[in-house]
Amino acid sequence: MSRIGKLPVEIPSGVTVSVGEHSFTVKGPKGELTQEYKPDVQINVQEGIAEVVTTKETLQAGAYHGLYRKLLSNMVTGVSQGFSKTLLINGVGYRAEVKGDILVLNLGYSNPIYFQIPSDLQITCEGANKVVVSGIDKQKVGQTSAEIRSLRPPEPYKGKGVKYEDEIIRRKIGKAGVK
């Protein structure tokens, strides 16, 4: 039995969880998310608590037990509170701005980078050097943030590039510190 899987998921007021044959749907004030699941697990919902139970005693079923419990928990959190990641842009002349549904990034290349914002996410710029990606799906928020960061990852000598707000960049001394 999975240690994470055996924990119950509390369902806040205003959020409904409906379980179908091979999928479950979570609806809340911010939107609706659907996830398919394997027949190795079963999802029981009663009085504001959802539990994931294994139907088989295999290693694969134990892995699915923790997986689907955490996916369900993330979906409940997403439709009630949402998720967000903050990216910081560091460098001379490096900046970002939102124009309609396109994020325009100037990251030291000869041409600006035009990043298409997915329809189910919101990207806002707080100033020229702070980008906030938010949405109800944790996986899409993280993947989009990683794609934006990969356009110019932070380098270790001056720290220029795009990094997460809570990320720590290990700095190197460079040639001047060798003497």
Kindly report, residue by residue over 110-132, the tens digit of the pLDDT: 999 999 999 999 999 999 999 99
Same structural domain for residues 17 and 56?
yes
Instruction: Please say if the pLDDT value at position 78 is more than 80.
Output: yes
Could you tell me if residue 107 is inside a domain? yes
Same structural domain for residues 65 and 116?
no
Q: Quick one: 145 exposed, middle or buried, by C-beta within 10 A (0-12, 13-18, 19+)?
A: buried
The pLDDT of residue 2 is: 75
The pLDDT of residue 174 is: 84
Task: Please say which residue of 32, 61, 80 terminates a domain.
Answer: 80
Buried b (16+ CB within 10 A) or exposed e, 46-57: eeeebbbebeee
At residue 173 the predicted structure's pLDDT band, cuts being 50, 70 and 90, is confident
Same structural domain for residues 99 and 160?
yes
Distance CA 5, CA 69 (A): 5
At residue 1 the predicted structure's pLDDT band, cuts being 50, 70 and 90, is low
User: In total, how many domains does the chain have?
Assistant: 2
- Rounded to two decimals, the pTM is 0.90
Q: In which domain, by residue range, is 136 found?
A: 83-164
Instruction: Please say if the pLDDT value at position 92 is more than 70.
Output: yes
Overall average pLDDT of the 87-114 stretch: 96
At residue 77 the predicted structure's pLDDT band, cuts being 50, 70 and 90, is very high
At residue 155 the predicted structure's pLDDT band, cuts being 50, 70 and 90, is very high
Instruction: Please say if the pLDDT value at position 56 is more than 70.
Output: yes
Same structural domain for residues 36 and 62?
yes
Could you tell me if residue 169 is inside a domain? no
